[in-house]
Amino acid sequence: MTQPVLSTPVTLGHHTLNNRVVLPPLTRQRSAQPGDIATALMAEYYRQRAGAGFMVSEGTQIEPRGQGYAWTPGIYSAAQIDGWRTVTDAVHADGGVIFAQLWHVGRVSHNALQPEGAAPVAPSAIAALQAKAFIETGPGVGELKQPPVPRALTTLEVKALVAQYAQAARNALDAGFDGVEIHSANGYLVNQFISAHANQRDDEYGGSLDNRLRFLREIVEAVCQVVGPERLGVRFSPLFSGTDQDRVYIGLVEEDPHHTYIEAIKVLEASGIAYLSIAEADWDNAPDLPDSFRQAVRETFSGRIIYAGRYTAERGARLVEAGLADLIAFGRPFIANPDLPQRIFKGWPLNPLREEGMYGGGEAGYIDYPTYLG
């Protein structure tokens, strides 16, 4: 089935996108060392997938303390900005539109990844017991490690981090990105502030839900001042049930996720940002988002809505046709199929995904997947 609705144009901020197929942020751990710098290899990977209507870069840490996995790229140094410019130039040369995902992992890190071996930082000194950081143990090799108990940020440090998000947004524009996405999902720093499980502060950033949303609100406001709301998106990962292990992959399970995330989406609506991206659980037997939540999202947010989470083209098209989504993101299929939009539109078969090269490495499993030859 060709799913024609996914091939139709749609506006996003100032852009008119060619189609509704999205390359979402996908961690691939290919940055150059030392310095966590985007490379020509990465530029080719993104260029191959520039047929997407819209692209979001892999998470790129806004400062050294924001890294939770070896070899992920940053966007805080001059060399990193130059490296990303190679990527955006390649994407734009093929007609693509690409935003940078601004990332800070907070407590999901390890001393080996932190400046001077310090403890990771977080809203509160509560360890991410089910999460794992990934540290380098030798050239091109590493291992998963349990994150230590983090250090709670002071109020002044939280405000300084808001400014760092704004600076990262400036850096992204300097690097040629068309806009930025704030990573507020998957149990990382902004998600930690939102969550009552990870945030037990007693200052203006903790306690009530309104206070727990303050960090998000201030980041959105600060980044809007840099890039404008039409060049800003935010990603959430609401989870309505699940185990502690589930929280590692999709976020933190709140006592009332519907209320928590609709209130968070109201923050975005008030700022008039371009889009909301919702990352759903994508493992076997994962809990589905309730239809009532999808309806509430659409009623609350007037910008574009992107859904991701093991979607088939058929399932994604149904959501668009129902008016509940505007764009659909495909993760694993886009890794294995650089020409995924054309395969969807023309009903061509898909390449299978290989585990080789998913995280780290060189060309294998990264830029060597073939396009369809017919």
Q: Catalytic amino acids? A: 188
Q: 60 pairs with which residues across the strands?
A: 102
What the block records as the tokens of 89 is 């130039």
Which residue type, as a one-letter code, is found at position 146? Q
How many Cβ atoms from other residues are within 10 Å of residue 62's Cβ? 27
- Helical ranges in 204-279 per DSSP H: 209-212, 214-227, 244-250, 257-271
DSSP letter, residue 154: P
- Determine whether 225 is exposed, middle or buried from the number of CB atoms within 10 Å of its CB (0-12, 13-18, 19+): exposed
Cβ neighbours of residue 68 under 8 Å, at least 6 residues apart? 105, 108, 109, 110, 113, 120, 133, 134, 147, 188
Task: List, as one string, the DSSP characters of 22-64.
Answer: EE--------BTTTTB--HHHHHHHHHTTTSSEEEEEEEESSG
**DSSP bridge pairs for 115:** none
* Spatial contact of 74 and 129, defined as CB atoms under 8 Å apart: no
Q: At what angle do helices 214-227 and 155-174 cross, to 10 degrees?
A: 30
Query: Are 110 and 97 a contacting pair, CB within 8 Å?
Result: no
Amino acid at 314: E
Size of the chain, expressed as the number of residues it contains: 374
Here the tokens at position 156 are 């002044």
d(CA 313, CA 311): 6
